[in-house]
């Protein structure tokens, strides 16, 4: 049974399922090449569909891909061939009665499944990934999220797989007559097939327990291969924090007696929220101080929380169809972001999220794959697990939170969970719950779900000294996106404050408020403030209160002033970013005009003040000192000139490094405290700033600075410090020494998958070291595996997505290389191929020369033969 040809699916065509499945009983007889799957389905006509469709019984459609059908029986009788028809993508059955039971037997080959969707093997262990449409690679089934069923799963496997897991509670276990193990799991909560999971392997586990707010004890288990058992503690602690947080902040308690997490090495994304049995990419769950960086510790905390939070926002209340994906993803990203903000530094978390949004989501919004948070159509749903659905979706939820306020938002979420528990619903249902719980009107606000593109707000202000009046005029527009020429004004919450000449916050109203939210609903609107005794400096879009590009003509001095005085920490950082962006944009202009580049004095002055202020949160200072990435700069301008971006950025960083060397050194030394590793916010902040200083110091290629890096590397205290030192040595030190250090690092860590991934990524993304030749060598390295997405992401992704310098080599070799890899990967794993092609999709934004090169690389992919639906959609939309 092959997959169907790529076809466009439309939201407007949604119809309720013709049939429901009340119970699903599955039996798996595991074998790498010949796994037998028996399913027993209790099916009935959906009363909703029957009401609208008259009395006749339409055929039953069961999705199925890459399955061998062995038998199919209805109510105990084998079905004659004329009752069913195998078609591309599934099976159509003639139905003769409104309720019946089907028994279907299929055969699958997990070992040959390199798509990592459905049932597959990772290092010899069986695991599954069913979201969005992977269950159809396991058995014939109505594989759509609005069909919710109670699942019972029996797994039979040889004794070398002692751990046999599925969703829910273990209800039976034993041995078969021929000595194989048999375990049965039952999940009492009805769920869609995308939340099904199965794991079988020779695994070890750590166990803990959590007592819920109503006093129920929940067993927590984290399963890994034996070699990783020492890396589970951080995830377990994070899980318990997340469980408590969801009780306190949302009133949500866990509902089963057991919650399991399994770590697997071969995984297409970060993790999956299968009911009661989360499956994680091992890089997103396993950590120890020696092997994982601070960034990894924080990523694990947030992903563990994200998947756990899905138990309510996604599992108990799920999506009606995949157009509603942001209903669970946007909401859950918002929940995990707030959790991380509560656990760590709120401002820093916000800065990280906004940076991602501005760099990558804005790019998506402006490119050929631009789509609304609730898309109108798709060809391959896997392509829609995007930054728009996730991050912009989370911004929409955040704006609702801002517009209604925290208490009202909680009333809305309570009503949403209560009203829709056990149901598959829509984004509209979420908004209606928010409105109904509060008597609010979000009519215009809804446009955020249906309108693609990043709105631009232009701001002008006017001060009338005589009347002591200050007014802000805001104009909004959203650029056209593919298929959406006309855009309507959105309801945009713009948080602001006003600063006086002494840096103090001005009072904005008679209640004494010093910040407020402007509700921009028209194309152009003026907001006036009374009793303002001096011309203020506005602090606009505080906390990034809406996912927009805001333009206001700040001078360099004003930005430096905001950097020091804005009461909003996010906007202090943002002022610094604006200053850096302005500086880098002038430098790019100078480079293009063949002029001598000006020393970036304003930035140097601003950074000098920052480095000498030991009161400021070091994490915030580190963020401020980091110049916008090349990718972000690419997104800012109208046309991408890769060489100019690299030259401007390198020049600015060098100039800063040389001018402020003594300050970087002093700060480095003050922060270089030798104490046992802890992943606390304070310690992470300290290491973050220390390693930022180290990178600047090494940029000067000064011997003493490189010696500091070497000492830090050799002290070997934790992976954060070791990898930062190694990166600095590789980037800025002599090549021979870098080669030797990399070699010894590899020898030390070659048994550790996660560290080897770090080692790959550090080289492929290095501006100086990660040449195409080096990347090819890495791909030939024995530790590289084309079938392992983490390795591919580290080497090929590191080069194409994080190595702006080498990837955009003027001869176009980077683009051709990527095209080759994408073509090869599409045969193995279409989802990964489709992700990797992203850097080529924005070819129109590059200068003519590069645009031509990228276009021909894309064209070559397009002409390379039959593409997967995933890759076909990306490439055809990019070339259109």
Residue pair 345/681 in contact by the 8 Å Cβ criterion: yes
Question: Min. distance of Cβ 365 from Zn ion in angstroms?
Answer: 20
Q: Which residue's Cβ has the minimum distance to ligand B3K?
A: 131
- Integer Cα distance of 496 and 471 in angstroms: 12
827: burial class by Cβ within 10 Å (0-12, 13-18, 19+)?
middle
| Cβ-based nearer residue to Zn ion, 307 or 566 | 307
**Cα 724 to Cα 734: distance, rounded to the nearest angstrom:** 16
Distances (CA, A) of 678 to 294, 674, 712, 718, 859: 9, 12, 17, 10, 50
Answer for the pair 174, 182: CB distance below 8 angstroms, yes or no: yes
CB 300, min distance to ligand B3K, A: 14
CB of 615 to ligand B3K, least distance (A): 38
Task: Judge whether 513 and 495 are in contact, CB under 8 Å.
Answer: no
Partner whose binding site includes residue 874, from ligand B3K, Zn ion, none (CB under 5 to 8 Å by kind):
none
Q: Which stretch binds ligand B3K (CB under 6 A): 102-110, 270-278, 283-291, 782-790?
A: 270-278
**Per this entry, what is the length of the chain?**
880
Q: Where are the alpha helices (DSSP H) in 459-617?
A: 556-565, 569-592, 601-612
CB-nearer residue toward ligand B3K: 133 or 635: 133
The SS3 assignment for 657 reads helix
> According to the binding rule CB under 6 A, does residue 284 interact with ligand B3K?
no
Residue closer to Zn ion (CB basis): 328 or 808: 328
- Indicate which of Zn ion, ligand B3K, none lies near residue 269 (CB less than 5 to 8 Å, by partner kind): ligand B3K
DSSP codes joined into one string, 819-859? HHHHHHHHHH-HHHHHHHTHHHHTGGGB-HHHHHHHHHHHH
Q: Which stretch binds ligand B3K (CB under 6 A): 13-21, 294-302, 305-313, 601-609?
A: 305-313
What count of Cα atoms within 13 Å lies in the side-chain half-sphere of residue 683? 16
* Sequence-distant (≥ 6) Cβ neighbours of residue 669 within 8 angstroms: none
Helix (H, G, I), strand (E, B) or coil at 146: coil
Q: Which of residues 775-834 bind ligand B3K (CB under 6 A)?
A: none
Q: How far apart are CA 683 and CA 34, in angstroms?
A: 51
Q: Is 165 helix (H, G, I), strand (E, B) or coil?
A: strand
Among 67, 102, 243, 269, binds ligand B3K (CB under 6 A): 269
Selected range binding ligand B3K among 266-274, 611-619, 676-684, 814-822, rule: CB under 6 A: 266-274
Q: Which of residues 492-511 bind Zn ion (CB under 5 A)?
A: none
Query: Of 62, 93, 132, 569, which lies in the binding site for ligand B3K, with binding defined by CB under 6 A?
Result: 132
Shortest separation between residue 381's beta carbon and ligand B3K, angstroms: 8
| 70, 140 contact by CB (below 8 A) | no
- Kindly state whether residue 300 participates in binding ligand B3K, applying the rule CB under 6 A: no
Q: How far is CA 185 from the centre of its chain?
A: 31
Residue (322 or 570) nearer to ligand B3K, CB: 322
Q: Counting contacts by CB under 6 A, is residue 329 touching ligand B3K?
A: yes
- Residue written as token pair 């333009």: 551
Catalytic residue list contains 307: yes
Nearer to ligand B3K, 191 or 310 (CB): 310
Minimum separation from the CB atom of position 333 to Zn ion (A): 7
Q: Smallest gap, in angstroms, from Cβ of residue 61 to ligand B3K?
A: 22
Of the pair 189, 309, the CB lying nearest Zn ion is at 309
Question: Smaller CB distance to ligand B3K: residue 391 or 429?
Answer: 391
Three-state secondary structure call for residue 596: coil
Beta bridge partners of 106: 37, 69
Bond prior to 114 in cis (omega within 30° of 0): no
For residue 364, give Cα distances in angstroms to 396, 469, 568.
17, 40, 28
Q: Which does 344 bind (CB under 5 to 8 A by kind): Zn ion, ligand B3K, none?
A: none
Nearer to ligand B3K, 269 or 624 (CB): 269
Q: In 265-345, which ranges are continuous DSSP H helix?
A: 294-309, 325-343
Residue numbers 291-330 binding Zn ion by CB under 5 A: 329
Q: How many residues bind ligand B3K (CB under 6 A)?
A: 12
- The item of ligand B3K, Zn ion, none sharing an interface with residue 319, based on CB under 5 to 8 Å by kind, is none
Site stretch for ligand B3K (CB under 6 A), options 3-11, 58-66, 84-92, 265-273: 265-273
**Are residues 688 and 707 in contact, defined by beta-carbon separation less than 8 angstroms?**
no
Assess 3 for contact with ligand B3K (CB under 6 A): no
* Dist CA 637 CA 645 (whole Å): 10
Question: Which CA distances in Å does 570 have to 346, 355, 362, 443, 789?
Answer: 9, 11, 19, 29, 34
As given in the structure block, the two tokens for residue 620 are 């915030």
Binding at 296: pick from Zn ion, ligand B3K, none (beta carbon under 5-8 Å per type): none
DSSP for 799-814, written as a single string: HHHH-HHHHT-TTSHH
Burial class from Cβ neighbours inside 10 Å (0-12, 13-18, 19+) for residue 479 reads: middle
Question: Which of 306, 371, 793, 845 lies at the binding interface for ligand B3K (CB under 6 A)?
Answer: 306
**Stretch of residues binding ligand B3K (CB under 6 A), selected from 68-76, 264-272, 593-601, 641-649:** 264-272
State the nearest-atom distance from the C-beta of 181 to ligand B3K, in Å.
29
Q: How far is the CB of 306 from ligand B3K (least distance, A)?
A: 5
Other residues' Cβ atoms within 10 Å of the Cβ of residue 6: 15
* Residue with smaller CB distance to Zn ion, 387 or 725: 387
Say which of 307, 380, 632, 873 is annotated catalytic: 307
Q: How far is the CB of 782 from ligand B3K (least distance, A)?
A: 29
Q: Tell me, by CB under 5 A, how many residues bind Zn ion.
A: 2
Q: Counting contacts by CB under 6 A, is residue 307 touching ligand B3K? A: yes
Q: Residue 596, class by beta-carbon neighbours within 10 Å (0-12 exposed, 13-18 middle, 19+ buried)?
A: exposed
**Closest to 18 measured CA to CA, from 64, 42, 53:** 53
Partner interacting with residue 131 (select from ligand B3K, Zn ion, none; CB below 5-8 Å by kind): ligand B3K
Of 140, 132, 138, nearest to 192 by C-alpha is: 132
Least Cβ distance, residue 314 to ligand B3K (angstroms): 7
- The partner in contact with residue 312, picked from ligand B3K, Zn ion, none with C-beta cut-offs of 5 to 8 angstroms by kind, is none
Tokens of 414: 């309570």
DSSP-derived letter for residue 524 is E
Which secondary structure element, helix H or strand E, spans residue 103, and what is its range? strand 99-108
Does the protein bind ligand B3K through residue 62 (CB under 6 A)?
no
**Per rule CB under 6 A, is residue 273 in the interface with ligand B3K?**
yes
**Of the two residues 24 and 332, which places its CB atom closer to Zn ion in the complex?**
332
From candidates 25, 29, 74, 131, binder to ligand B3K by CB under 6 A: 131
Lookup: tokens for 551: 């333009």
Smaller CB separation from ligand B3K, 385 or 817: 385
Identify which of residues 234 and 306 has a Cβ nearer to ligand B3K in the complex.
Answer: 306
836 binds, among ligand B3K, Zn ion, none (CB under 5 to 8 A by kind): none
Which residue, 299 or 661, has its beta carbon nearer to Zn ion? 299
Q: Which residues pair with 219 in a beta bridge?
A: 209, 258
User: Closest approach of Cβ 310 to Zn ion, in Å?
Assistant: 6
Closest separation in Å from C-beta 275 to ligand B3K? 12
Q: Which of residues 363-402 bind ligand B3K (CB under 6 A)?
A: 382, 385
Q: In the complex, what is the shortest distance from the CB of residue 171 to ligand B3K, in angstroms, rounded to a whole number?
A: 27
Give which of 129, 134, 179 is closest to 157, Cα–Cα: 179
Residue ranges that bind Zn ion, judged by CB under 5 A: 329, 332
Residues designated catalytic: 307
Residue ranges that bind ligand B3K, judged by CB under 6 A: 131-132, 269, 271-273, 306-307, 310, 329, 382, 385
């Amino acid at each position: 049974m092959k997959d169907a040809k790529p076809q466009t699916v439309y939201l407007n065509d949604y119809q309720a399922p013709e049939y429901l499945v009340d119970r699903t009983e599955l039996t798996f007889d595991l074998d790498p090449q010949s796994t037998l799957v028996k399913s027993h389905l209790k099916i009935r006509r959906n009363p909703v569909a029957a009401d609208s469709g008259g009395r006749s019984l339409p055929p039953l459609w069961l999705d199925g891909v890459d399955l061998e059908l062995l038998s199919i029986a209805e109510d105990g009788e084998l079905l004659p061939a004329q009752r069913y028809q195998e078609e591309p993508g599934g099976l159509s059955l003639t139905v003769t009665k409104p309720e019946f039971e089907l028994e279907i037997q299929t055969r699958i080959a997990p070992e040959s499944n390199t798509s990592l969707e459905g049932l597959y093997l990772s290092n010899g262990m069986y695991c599954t990934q069913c979201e969005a449409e992977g269950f159809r690679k396991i058995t014939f089934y109505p594989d759509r999220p609005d069909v919710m069923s109670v699942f019972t799963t029996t797994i039979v496997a040889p004794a070398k797989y002692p751990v046999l897991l599925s969703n829910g509670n273990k209800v039976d276990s034993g041995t078969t007559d021929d000595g194989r193990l048999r375990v049965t799991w039952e999940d009492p909560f009805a769920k869609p097939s995308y939340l099904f999971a199965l794991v079988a392997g020779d695994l070890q586990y750590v166990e803990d327990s959590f007592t819920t707010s109503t006093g129920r004890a929940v067993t927590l288990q984290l399963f890994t291969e034996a070699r990783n058992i020492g890396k589970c503690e951080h995830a377990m602690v994070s899980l318990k924090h997340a469980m408590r947080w969801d009780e306190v902040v949302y009133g949500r308690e866990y509902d089963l007696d057991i919650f399991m997490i399994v770590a697997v090495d071969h995984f297409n994304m970060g993790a999956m929220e299968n009911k009661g049995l989360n499956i994680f990419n091992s890089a997103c769950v396993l950590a120890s101080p020696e092997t994982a960086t601070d960034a990894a510790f924080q990523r694990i905390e947030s992903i563990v929380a994200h998947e756990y939070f899905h138990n309510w926002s996604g599992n108990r209340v799920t999506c009606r169809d995949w157009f509603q994906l942001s209903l669970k993803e946007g909401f859950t990203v918002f929940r995990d972001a707030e959790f991380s903000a509560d656990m760590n530094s709120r401002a820093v978390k916000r800065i990280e999220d906004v940076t991602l949004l501005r760099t990558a989501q804005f790019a998506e919004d402006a490119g050929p794959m631009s789509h609304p948070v609730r898309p109108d159509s798709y060809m391959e749903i896997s392509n829609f697990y995007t930054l728009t659905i996730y991050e912009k979706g989370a911004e929409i939820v955040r704006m609702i939170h801002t517009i209604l306020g925290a208490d009202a938002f909680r009333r809305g979420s309570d009503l949403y969970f209560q009203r829709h528990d056990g149901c598959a619903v829509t984004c509209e249902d979420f908004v209606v719950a928010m409105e109904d719980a509060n008597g609010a009107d979000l009519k215009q606000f809804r446009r955020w779900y249906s309108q693609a593109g990043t709105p631009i707000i232009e701001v002008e202000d006017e001060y009338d000294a005589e009347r002591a009046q200050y007014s802000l005029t805001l104009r909004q527009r959203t650029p056209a996106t593919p298929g959406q020429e006309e855009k309507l004004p959105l309801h945009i919450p713009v948080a602001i404050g006003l600063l006086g000449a002494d840096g103090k916050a001005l009072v904005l109203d008679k209640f004494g408020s010093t910040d407020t939210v402007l509700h921009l609903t028209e194309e152009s609107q003026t907001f006036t403030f009374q009793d303002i005794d001096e011309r203020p400096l506005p602090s606009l879009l505080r906390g990034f209160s809406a996912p927009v590009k805001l333009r206001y003509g700040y001078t360099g001095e004003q930005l430096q002033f905001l950097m020091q005085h804005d009461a909003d920490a996010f906007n202090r950082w943002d002022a610094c970013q604006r200053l850096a962006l302005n500086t880098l944009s002038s430098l790019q202009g100078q480079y293009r005009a063949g002029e001598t580049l000006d020393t970036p004095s304003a930035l140097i002055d601003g950074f000098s003040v920052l480095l000498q202020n030991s009161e400021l949160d070091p994490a915030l200072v580190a963020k401020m000192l980091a110049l916008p990435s090349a990718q972000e700069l690419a997104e800012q301008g109208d046309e991408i000139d890769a060489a100019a971006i690299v030259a401007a950025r390198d020049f600015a960083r060098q100039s800063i490094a040389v001018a402020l060397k003594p300050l970087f050194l002093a700060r480095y030394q003050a922060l270089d405290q030798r104490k046992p590793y802890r992943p606390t916010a304070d310690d992470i902040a300290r290491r973050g700033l220390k390693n930022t200083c180290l990178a600047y110091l090494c940029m000067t290629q000064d011997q003493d600075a490189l010696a500091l890096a070497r000492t830090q590397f050799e002290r070997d205290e934790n992976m954060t410090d070791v990898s930062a030192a190694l990166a600095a040595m590789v980037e800025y030190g002599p090549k021979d020494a870098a080669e030797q250090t990399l070699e010894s690092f590899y020898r030390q860590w070659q048994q550790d998958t996660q560290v080897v991934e770090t080692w790959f990524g550090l080289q492929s993304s290095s501006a100086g070291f990660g040449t195409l030749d080096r990347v090819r060598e890495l791909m030939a390295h024995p530790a590289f595996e084309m079938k392992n997405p983490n390795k591919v992401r580290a080497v090929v992704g590191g080069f194409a997505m994080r190595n702006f310098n080498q990837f955009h080599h003027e001869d176009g070799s980077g683009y051709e290389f990527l095209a080759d890899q994408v073509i090869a990967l599409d045969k193995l794993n279409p989802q990964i191929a489709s992700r990797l092609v992203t850097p080529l999709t924005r070819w129109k934004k590059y200068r003519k020369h590069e645009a031509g090169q990228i276009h021909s690389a894309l064209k070559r992919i397009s002409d390379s033969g039959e593409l997967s639906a995933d890759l076909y959609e990306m490439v055809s939309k990019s070339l259109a």
